[in-house]
Structure 1
Amino acid sequence: MKWVLWLVGLFAVAVGFALFAEVSKGYAILILPPYRVELSLNLMVVLLLAAVIATYLILRALSIALSLPERVKRFQRQKKLDAARHALRDATLSLFEGRYQKAEREAIKSVDNESDAQNRAIALLVAARAAHAVKDAGKRDSYLVRLENEGEAAELARCVSAAEFLLEDKQYVAARAVIDRARQLSPNLTAALRLELRLSLAQGAPDAVLALTEKLLKAEAISPEQARRYRLAAWRQQMGGLIDAEELKRWWSKIPAQERENDELRIAAAQHAHELGDTPMAVDFLTRRLDASYSSELAGELGRYVADLDDEGRLALAKRAEKWLETERRDPRLLLTLGRLAVAQKLWGKAQGYLEASATLDPALATHAELAKLFKRLDRDEEARRHFDECVRLALAQAG
């Protein structure tokens, strides 16, 4: 459409000049002593236009000729810049593809030809992550040092990346310094908070882990399931620092009721109580939960503490276990626990029945070991040997 307008305009100008030439009868006189020249006005106008156009073209050609070296330099710079941007794209793509050596090579090529500071920073980050992926800490750290020279715009990205690398290398003191720097630059940055959470967990700071978990959960930076796992890990660390049973009991009462329903945490608490010398407390941790909500895992865990209970404790536990058996007759772990209780109470026939029923439902190594010991105690050597052989077979199968 535009060229049509230009064509119409040119025709209009031509028609205007033609009409002007027909009606114009004037002339121009040029005097340059001793010469005098008379020209028609139309010719004079044409000559002036031609002179103006010729002057413009000469000056334009001269300008182009003088600027040619600078234009060549600009073209070369643009060519290198285009190559740098292409290399950066290739480096980023290669990093996500897992082609780390190519990613590092293309990233450094981009840094050498890039003029934009942010793009150089991105290229150095890609190179550092690629070097870290191939366990080349020397190159990785050299790229991070070069990144420090790219200004404040890249400082936060450098700190977050460096913190991740240091955490993976278990350099916790250095990681703490870098994370603190990242928190200074952006106090509420969730990436930095997650890194601090990992660091606190690795350094055994459960109070910090719990506080950071709640903060990240509130910011929706972690899922409720992740938050629960972090809490459990923190509570297990706290539990490890408890030195007597009363302290463990007070600590357990402070755990939220919903979290006390977690079987893994209960088993850990029971084991710690047993290690502190309070086996009845360990059994109480498990039986309370089993009374409220039966769990085969917890029922099997009870069998570990049978030998350390007194006669009264074994009798009470046996009564509760037989009550659970009314609804859980096909639970091999519960049957194994009842078998161990019967052995401890020297109820040999009952013990054999429970243990053989457990072995029928689940021929586990622990069950055959208990049967072997039982038959050995009863001087039934042939049956004891058969169960010992079965134990060896199962142990070899598990090892293989």
Structure 2
Amino acid sequence: MKKVALLIVIALVAALALGRWMASDSGYVLVIRDDFSLDTTLGFVVLAALLAVVAIVVLTLLGNAAWNVLEPVRATRRWKKAVAARRLRSGLLQLVDGEQEKAERLLVAAGEDGDWPLLAWLLAAEAAQEQENVEASQRYLENASSDRRGQLVAGLMKARFALDDGYPEQARQELKVLADLAPRNKRILRTYAEVLESQKDWPALCALMPRLKRAFGEGKESRRERRAWLALLQETARKPGFNDADSRREELRKLWKDVPVHLKNDPAMVARYTGFLAQLGGGKGALNLVREQLTQQWDDRLPPVLEAIDDMSPDDLLQVLEGWLAERPGNAAVLITAGRVALKARLWGKAQGFFEAAANSSQSATALAELSRLYQALGDTSKAQKAFERRLQQLDGELPALPMPEKSL
């Protein structure tokens, strides 16, 4: 816009200068050719030349426009494009109305001749998919992907169709290629993550998490990340192919090094890891990690890990648990764990005391069940029955109110 204004200003200045020059001296032009002679002023000659130039330009533009209208090839092409545009609109409306067969015919024709072939092929693929014509749908998507702008959306539709048809592995392969082509495309990444999670491919999902977090932010994918790592820990601890606990334990320790730092402070993650570590003979390391975590932040999910430790003396574990009870008297999680460890040490009286304290402090169903089982084993059936009845009463309060048969007299 500034350039146009500058040109106008320059033209006005030039015209003003030319006008003043012509006014001061109009000049004289004499043209003689054989018997023809033209006698006029220089200003008239300049004006006539300008008018001639303008006339040539206008006639050229009009002639070009007329040629474009009347030229057979271009007229045919314009007519075809207009027809294709009408077919595209009609095909879309037919697709919305559920007339997939008519929509497919119209959209295919629009894709072959129209100005919007990408949109036409994508819609035609949708129409073919609705008719369960997989071969035609894939062919239309191939046509769409031949357009550089349509490669991603066509690939995403292929993946969606594969999922709808029950072929998640095919969808996964397609999404992996797309994720490499467009590492920041949120829709592709989200769909890819959902497929990996549905297939329970936890290593691949954990490897994808950094890209997901960059695309969606730390908070939005935190739950998925936590689920994936928890499942991967469990899968590694129970991985087939390792016949001895030492191999499983070492594999688990290697994996723990790869766990993100913020998840290593998550109580559920620590409880899952230390629980498996204890089951695989790494009781001392599990206990140290539980202690370290509880020092930073107490969580009732961590003390029960000590129940799984079999490579340490139960008496030593009881000392640790009694130390925690001194700091948190009446804590049901610690009391139940202490009772179970006392059973391992064959300290029946201590175990009974811990279970009774847990049952009295929190009416824990677990504590009542353990207490009933212990009483029964000790031969005190009366107390075992009472503990069992207390547990039933507790469960009864959680049951919905429903009609019950009346007692017969």
Question: Same fold per TM (> 0.5)?
Answer: yes
State the match for 2:106 in structure 1. Answer: 113
2:302 aligned counterpart, secondary structure: helix
Q: Distance in 1 between matches of 2:221 and 2:146?
A: 33
* Cα deviation, residue 163, structure 1: 2.0
Is the alpha carbon distance of 1:335 and 1:375 closer, same or farther for their aligned partners in structure 2, counting shifts above 3 Å?
same
* Cα deviation, residue 251, structure 1: 4.1
Please state if 1:174 is matched with 2:178. Answer: no
State the match for 1:304 in structure 2. Answer: 307
- CA deviation map 1:242-270 (0-9, x unaligned): 83434434543454443211122222212
Q: Distance in 2 between matches of 1:167 and 1:352?
A: 55
Task: For structure 1, list consecutive stretches of 5 or more residues without a partner in the other structure.
Answer: 1-69, 92-101
Q: 2:211 aligns with which of 204, 212, 215?
A: 215
State the match for 1:386 in structure 2. Answer: 386
Please state if 1:289 is matched with 2:296. Answer: no
Q: What amino acid is the match of 1:148?
A: E
Q: Distance in 2 between matches of 1:374 and 1:258?
A: 41
> Is the 8 Å Cα contact of residues 172 and 196 (structure 2) preserved in structure 1?
no
Q: Distance in 2 between matches of 1:139 and 1:222?
A: 39
Task: For structure 2, list consecutive stretches of 5 or more residues without a partner in the other structure.
Answer: 1-75, 111-115, 401-409
Pairing 1:195-206 to 2, within 5 Å after superposition: 195-199=191-195
> Is the 8 Å Cα contact of residues 372 and 388 (structure 2) preserved in structure 1?
yes
- CA deviation map 1:48-75 (0-9, x unaligned): xxxxxxxxxxxxxxxxxxxxxx9xx999
Which range moves more in the overlay, 263-272 or 119-128?
119-128
> Is the 8 Å Cα contact of residues 281 and 311 (structure 2) preserved in structure 1?
no
Q: Distance in 1 between matches of 2:154 and 2:139?
A: 9
> Is the 8 Å Cα contact of residues 162 and 175 (structure 1) preserved in structure 2?
yes
Q: Distance in 1 between matches of 2:170 and 2:101?
A: 26
* Cα deviation, residue 106, structure 1: 4.6
Q: Distance in 1 between matches of 2:101 and 2:393?
A: 57
Q: What amino acid is the match of 2:353?
A: G
Q: Distance in 1 between matches of 2:296 and 2:180?
A: 48
TM superposition score normalised by structure 1? 0.60
Q: What do you get for the CA RMSD once the two structures are aligned?
A: 4.2
* Cα deviation, residue 376, structure 1: 1.8
Pairing 1:85-104 to 2, within 5 Å after superposition: 85-88=92-95, 91=96
Is the alpha carbon distance of 1:229 and 1:371 closer, same or farther for their aligned partners in structure 2, counting shifts above 3 Å?
same
* Cα deviation, residue 202, structure 1: 5.8
- CA deviation map 1:117-150 (0-9, x unaligned): 3343343465478x5xxxx9x4566534443344
Please state if 1:152 is matched with 2:146. Answer: yes
Q: What amino acid is the match of 1:278?
A: G
Please state if 1:143 is matched with 2:137. Answer: yes
State the match for 1:226 in structure 2. Answer: 221
Q: Distance in 1 between matches of 2:178 and 2:372?
A: 61
> Is the 8 Å Cα contact of residues 352 and 371 (structure 1) preserved in structure 2?
yes
Percent identical residues: 22
> Is the 8 Å Cα contact of residues 179 and 196 (structure 1) preserved in structure 2?
yes
* Cα deviation, residue 381, structure 1: 1.0
State the match for 1:17 in structure 2. Answer: none
1:368 aligned counterpart, secondary structure: helix
